[in-house]
Structure 1
């Protein structure tokens, strides 16, 4: 096994994506440090704090510098932080103008602002993938709006539902995640420039204006206060990833169980050899769902680590900050991977409507016992209707007969429902789907889409 699956040639794209790795790799991170230093120089030049020529030369040096990563590594291991090492190299490249580099800043100002830039761009990737997944789920819910299947509670058949209703439940969670992301972005994409103890004493008057211009240069929000040791913003970002991957894992769990031979209601997209066993030729394992579930479990632990890392001492922490360096990139990589697996799996999901209908008949009508009970309740009273139908269910189970046959031999039920034909009608699963279709329509509409349900009913063969 590799020491780190995220950079493994074998496992890397199962636990992350190339796009997300490109946002968090060493080269990108050092590039962000340089970007922040340059933005600070530009902001200070605009205020006349440093010469404009010096800022221009710092920018020119940044554009031509070839960072010695080996030297960076050695100095970072010695110093404990990477900012002094990059300042050494960039200031040397900038010549005399290098004396104005990093003016009034502290290491954490640069690192936190760089992290904010990474998180902002990473969240934009997550948002794009969520929107794409939302479109896939809208199509799935629309296509199967009227596809009947067994609804299950406590892993037991409960009442009939539709597969479109199940997909719409998944969709509603993804919709909320898109909304949440837009809400948290202003609290997460925030710059940091406060000086050594968070007071901007190093720059004095005009420091807040300098801070505002730095954030403006980078397209970040200006902080209300120094957040060197107030880490709720970044903790919220990782907690958000925990919510996203948790919803993905719920979807994956449903799919995995429905893929099992005993259910046989769906299957992940067929790709030759995907999910194959080295010894059992018949196997077709739900690999995408398994990877989604595994990733969600890891992100959940990362959320806990970020909550713990919020507990920081005084004006600069003595260790909790470093936890973020591990947790944030890994949480984003795992979430990106989960979304990629989900998009692949759900866009090509094979839905077996015939098997869903067969499973509805497994209990020989017991799944619609509530339908009969509620229909009889106006005449018998709810409690008596429940007792009568309950006894009929027990008899059907004991004798192995269809519930409709048992009920048709019960004079109270036949009389309450108005004849045997009505009893049998109430024992049809398709007749007891409730408002599932309307609920699907509403979920899709709230997701910003419209649909023609008449066309759907024709297309679905109902």
Structure 2
């Protein structure tokens, strides 16, 4: 029988929302194996630069990278009240030959901060993959519906027409901005490196008997072994917490974009124009059996607010650090950085799922257009009638009166908008039914919407999708 712990709090980001892939990035196994990889890289580099370290010691360390005795580390940390030294002793116990040279010349931030950077890089690559997949499914949607007219809304009041695809293109463009910001952060992320206790590299300078060139090479070699070209030029004991703020700012930006998008989707679902996927066995309400609630979009909105607000922690932390470091960053970082990534991972997956099954109700959209377009088309009808010899002032007055009458039918009696029929019957408007209907063809009111979508896709989206085609092809199913 499986025993389920029902007496301890479990983070819903792990149990309900985020992927196992992202959860693993911030797991103890991944974190502490990175610590050991860093100790191996440090020992290898120190050996290559002439220190008395043997291949046997390095191989022993490599063989035990994933062989972590977490129970011993837990007991040791309780004894010494220092997580890094607890794991130094644990690793040394498993690697007795290498024990004397583990963590040689390093400070706690060597494993702590460098591991933070390694986890951040790994998590950013997952965000990149999922954001690209979202850009793909959204661009497919925008292209499919680029020519389908729909009411535009300003102040959530009917405005000039746009298209379903053009509106989706606006959502897509926000995420394209976020993608560019993401790539900038990924490309400029560096290791903290081998900088010593206050960032001066004094311990390594002593270790290499004053050979500054070797100290500089050590810093670069360790970074290279962990997949980075270099480390930051300057650090205190820690890398600048501005780095964390720049990372979570990108995640917050994704949250902002998706929150705005799902606001629109929720409003459109209320209008019955667009609906997110709804499973055959899905229940919208425990009381109202007919309900089809936009649960996915609402979940994105909730999690996006969490991302946006949690990201402020890194900004606050960057601003309150003292001198070369203070420890008031540590507990906050343990919470805010993983959870911001977990939240971002969640909303990206949900958004992909929405666009893999979005429903567009074309007839409802047409109905809403027909309710408003006659009013919007009156200026075009006046101009065409004037070209046929009509008096602009007389036409304006006639259409004003007819518009008021039609508006009264809609607002006072709940009838359909019959302005077109009234204009066709009017003796004062020198246009027949066919001519008036041609003027009010909805596709004549969408401007360059379709062309704008094509240009944006071909010049901005398509190149980056082709460049990263090996990352595409995700399908997402929600667990709950």
Length-normalised TM-score, structure 2: 0.82
Name the residue aligned to 1:460. Answer: none
CA contact (8 A) 1:58 1:101 kept: no
1:232 aligns with 2:245: no
Alpha-carbon distance in 1 for matches of 2:396, 2:37: 70
1:263-274 to structure 2, matched below 5 A, reads 263-274=271-282
Alpha-carbon distance in 2 for matches of 1:126, 1:172: 17
Name the residue aligned to 2:298. Answer: 290
Q: 1:236 to 1:143 in 2, by over 3 A?
A: same
Name the residue aligned to 2:259. Answer: 249
Q: 1:364 to 1:34 in 2, by over 3 A?
A: same
Length-normalised TM-score, structure 1: 0.85
Name the residue aligned to 1:436. Answer: 449
Name the residue aligned to 1:258. Answer: 268
Q: 1:89 to 1:323 in 2, by over 3 A?
A: same
Alpha-carbon distance in 2 for matches of 1:247, 1:384: 48
CA contact (8 A) 1:364 1:403 kept: no
Name the residue aligned to 2:55. Answer: 53
Q: Secondary structure at the match of 1:362?
A: helix
Which deviates the most, 144-153 or 306-315?
Answer: 144-153
CA contact (8 A) 2:273 2:360 kept: yes
1:175 aligns with 2:176: yes
1:7-18 to structure 2, matched below 5 A, reads 8=12, 12=14, 14-18=16-20
The CA deviation at 1:394 is: 4.8
Aligned residue pairs total: 440
CA contact (8 A) 1:275 1:286 kept: no
* CA deviation map 1:19-68 (0-9, x unaligned): 1111111121111111111111112111123413365245245247332x
CA contact (8 A) 2:274 2:361 kept: yes
Name the residue aligned to 1:100. Answer: 101
CA contact (8 A) 1:229 1:315 kept: no
The CA deviation at 1:153 is: 1.3
Name the residue aligned to 1:453. Answer: none
Alpha-carbon distance in 2 for matches of 1:41, 1:391: 88
1:339 aligns with 2:348: yes
Structure 1 unaligned residues grouped into runs of 5+ = 451-462
The CA deviation at 1:347 is: 0.7
Alpha-carbon distance in 2 for matches of 1:314, 1:361: 66
The CA deviation at 1:383 is: 13
Q: Secondary structure at the match of 2:203?
A: coil
CA contact (8 A) 2:192 2:239 kept: no
- Let me know the Cα RMSD of the aligned residues: 3.3
* CA deviation map 1:190-221 (0-9, x unaligned): 34321111101001122221110000000123
1:313-462 to structure 2, matched below 5 A, reads 313-363=322-372, 365-368=374-377, 393-394=403-404, 396-400=406-410, 402-404=418-420, 424-446=437-459, 447-448=461-462
